[in-house]
Amino acid sequence: MGPRPWYIVAGAVLAVAMFLVLEAVAHAIGRHA
């Protein structure tokens, strides 16, 4: 069975959300470095 389309959409949204959180964390670290 191939991947269901909504898995791909949900995965992309989750990845963007995760990356944005990680970017915020990185910049918070940068401000305190």
Q: Which residues from 11-30 bind another protein, rule CB under 8 A?
A: 15-16, 18-20, 22-23, 26-27, 29-30
Q: Does residue 33 interact with another protein by CB under 8 A?
A: yes
* Contact status: 9 vs another protein (CB under 8 A): no
4 Rama sector, left if φ>0, alpha if ψ -120 to 50, beta otherwise: beta
The span from the CA of 17 to the CA of 21, in Å, is: 6
List residues near another protein by CB under 8 A. 1-3, 15-16, 18-20, 22-23, 26-27, 29-30, 33
